[in-house]
Every structure is written in structure tokens, then in C-alpha cells.
Amino acid sequence: MLLKELKCPGCGAPLKSKERDIMLKCDHCGRISLFADGKINDVGYSIASPAKEHSGELIYVPFWIVNADLNVHKESISGGKISRFITDQRQMRGTRDFYVCASAIPEEFSREWNMDLTLDQPKLNLISDFKGGKRAVMTMRKEIAGENAEFLFLRYEAEIPGTLQKLDYDFRINSTKVLYLPAYKISDKYVLGVSNE
């Protein structure tokens, strides 16, 4: 088998695959590319500005941002219909960005992040490099991110009071891109530290 040389889509310098990180950084020009299916993919990525004066170690955590249309055609709930109505429950419907943590951050943190960020879409200031912190390895493939986004919706529906008996919906992915969000590691805890100024 011939092993193809991996090249940076920006400058053509050779890329080395290391660790478990599927995002490879070019040592020459600094561009980051996605390594998938044995080849280099020139994916767009953004980096969000970290909150200033936060304690802990700054780490930029990769997320897959899955933009999707979610249409619910029919839903039957027993028991909780009234409480769903009166508690002004936020709805995960229509077109939105689904946040799916793509790094091996313990699930007790990433689960909450995915849900909170998807429900309350953050305002972000973007920066051009990983200033002041290191980049967490990305382990999740793009295809898995789409499945996780759909699963996030199902988990949300299941957690609303009342027993879900029937859910008929369409989930259509429009685009998938990479976003690095700043987090701070304090002993063994992780907190997101996104700047909203």
C-alpha cells in the first residue's frame, strides 16, 4: 500500500499525524486541517475570544457546529402537556446551531455545554489564533457530530416533563463547521470562559 504524503492545503508543507488529534496543524504556516478518511480536508474553523481575568489553565476546546433544520410534525405527550405549555419551556425547533463538543472532555462537563450552548446560542468575538492557551485535541469525526446533534434534540425532548409517546420530526443538516471555545481548567474541573464583551 502506498502511503500518500499529507500536505497543508495552505502552503503545501508536509503534515504529520500525531496523537489522537484529527486536526493537524501545519508547522510552517500554522493552518489547521481536518484529517479524515485518510486525507486532508480544508475545513473552516473559528476561535472564540476568551474571557479576561479568569482563573485556571486556558484551553481551546473544539466543537462541531452543526447547523440544522428541525421540524416537528407531530408530538404526543401523556401527563405533561399542560406543564409543557405553562412553564414557557424553550423549544429546540427551527433552524439553529447545535453545539457538539468534539474533544475528550469528561462528559459531566461536555453534556451540559452542548445543551446550554444549543439552547442559548452565545454571542462570540472571534480571534485569529490560540492566544494564551493550548488547543485541546479533537477526537470526534464530522459524521458522528451530526448524529450527536440529533441525539441532543431527542434527549432534550425526553427531559421535558410528561412522557413522550410519539415524536415525528425531520432533522436536516445544512452545514457543519469547527469552532474552538475557550475553557478554563481548574484542578479537575472545566468551565467555559467565553468573552461576551
Binding of residue 56 to Zn ion (CB under 5 A): no
CB of 98 vs Zn ion, minimal distance in Å: 30
Q: Which is nearer to Zn ion, 11 or 186 (CB)?
A: 11
CB of 41 vs Zn ion, minimal distance in Å: 14
Q: Which is nearer to Zn ion, 40 or 66 (CB)?
A: 40
Contact set for Zn ion, span 121-150 (CB under 5 A): none
Nearest to 59 by CA among 185, 196, 178, 189: 185
Binding of residue 32 to Zn ion (CB under 5 A): no
Nine-digit cell at 173?
A: 443538516
Q: Which is nearer to Zn ion, 14 or 132 (CB)?
A: 14
Interacting residue with Zn ion among 14, 17, 29, 42 (CB under 5 A):
29
CA distances from 24 to 41, 178, 179 (A): 10, 13, 15
Binding of residue 15 to Zn ion (CB under 5 A): no
Sequence-ordered list of residues with C-beta below 8 angstroms from that of 105, at least 6 positions apart, any chain: 61, 113, 136, 183, 190
Interacting residue with Zn ion among 14, 17, 20, 28 (CB under 5 A):
28
CB of 10 vs Zn ion, minimal distance in Å: 4
Q: Considering Cα of 98, then 182, then 34, then 128, what sign does the dihedral take? A: positive
CB of 182 vs Zn ion, minimal distance in Å: 24
> How many Cβ atoms are within 10 Å of 143's Cβ, its own excluded?
12
> Which span sits near Zn ion by CB under 5 A: 1-9, 117-125, 145-153, 180-188?
1-9
Nine-digit cell at 172?
A: 436536516
Binding of residue 13 to Zn ion (CB under 5 A): yes
Q: Which is nearer to Zn ion, 8 or 59 (CB)?
A: 8
Q: Considering Cα of 152, then 158, then 159, then 161, what sign does the dihedral take? A: positive
80: left (phi over 0), alpha (psi -120 to 50) or beta: alpha
58 with 193: CB under 8 angstroms?
A: yes
Binding of residue 10 to Zn ion (CB under 5 A): yes
**Site for Zn ion (CB under 5 A): how many residues?**
8
Residues in the site for Zn ion, rule: CB under 5 A? 8, 10-11, 13, 26, 28-29, 31
